[in-house]
Amino acid sequence: MDQLAAMRALRRVVELGSFTAAADALGISHTIVSRQVRQLEQQLGAQLLNRTTRRLVLTGAGKDYYEASRQILDAIDDADRAVGQHQARPTGSLRINAPMAFGTLELANWLPQFIARYPELNIDLVCNDRIVDLIEEGFDVALRLTRDLPDSTLVAKRLASSQVMLVASPAYLREHGAPAVPSDLLRHNCLTYTLAERPNEWSFTSADGARETVAVKGNLRANTGIALRTAALAGTGIATTASFIVHEDVRRGELVRVLCDYTIRPRELYVLYPQNRHLSPKVRAFVDFASALYQQRDWD
């Protein structure tokens, strides 16, 4: 006897109320359904159904067995569906949210590779520097650069760590001098990122592990690292920024790192998506692609 087939037959009989309806739903004969249920009862040594001329009623043992077998069958169906979704080709629309700087300077560099791998996807990328509600605003996935993620029902997968550095233009440093210790920043024009938890408090760790926090001041505040980078390039002041925003400027000598003997707590790159029972093929494809990408590359 195929016990799973017999369990499915019993479930259909109970849910549809007759052997005939169950047979039609399963695409087999009334005789086969009846035999499967009878063999199941024989194997269990218990009567599962009370049969009358008008209806079928589960016995006490039948109720217990039906509930347990229904959970088993649901779990099997879920497992089959999960594998099927994993193997399915990603299609449809994928809405991605990312911070402005990351989306334009980093994500835009590797997104074409993802599109080339999954040409049946239609990508809708929205970049902004506010925290969006993925579910309310209809996003499938988001990328976040942060030190601390707020509690939420979203699934968060860490991808990489991004170094944070202080930079200024050579012209600014020639005119104002380079800070040697964090407290020297009190005499400088510091460009602050307003979406930081404490924009005007810059914390440093020295080589020996000592922590120091400086209350900085400056004449420019911005909610995007791109604006701070542009201002630093123009000689406006000293900016604190993620390395991916300015690493090319530093390499070319257009910006100079300052306070290199001190470290600033890095920001972590996460991919976030709504918590669903089964991850859709398009979201799984994006998460897997991004995870593999940042495992293989030296980001900073």
pLDDT in tens, 227-241: 999 999 999 999 999
CA angle centred on 164, ends 161 and 169, rounded to 5°: 145
pLDDT (tens digit per residue) in 204-260:
999 888 999 999 999 999 988 899 999 999 999 999 998 889 989 999 999 999 999
User: Mean pLDDT: which of 20-24, 82-86, 116-120 is highest?
Assistant: 116-120
Average pLDDT, the chain: 88
Q: Is 160 exposed, middle or buried (0-12, 13-18, 19+ CB in 10 A)?
A: buried
Residues 6+ apart with CB under 8 A from 29: 23
CA 234, 238, 240, 243 dihedral sign is positive
pLDDT of residue 192: 94
Q: Which residue has the higher pLDDT, 22 or 94?
A: 94
Domains of the chain: 3-87 (1.10.10.10), 92-160+271-296 (3.40.190.10), 162-267 (3.40.190.290)
- Coil vs helix vs strand at 261: coil
pLDDT (tens digit per residue) in 163-184:
899 999 999 999 999 999 999 9
Q: Say how far apart CA 78 and CA 68 lie, in whole Å.
A: 16
Confidence band (pLDDT; 50, 70, 90) for 85?
low
pLDDT of residue 34: 86
Q: Is the pLDDT of residue 57 over 80?
A: yes
Q: Is the pLDDT of residue 101 over 80?
A: yes
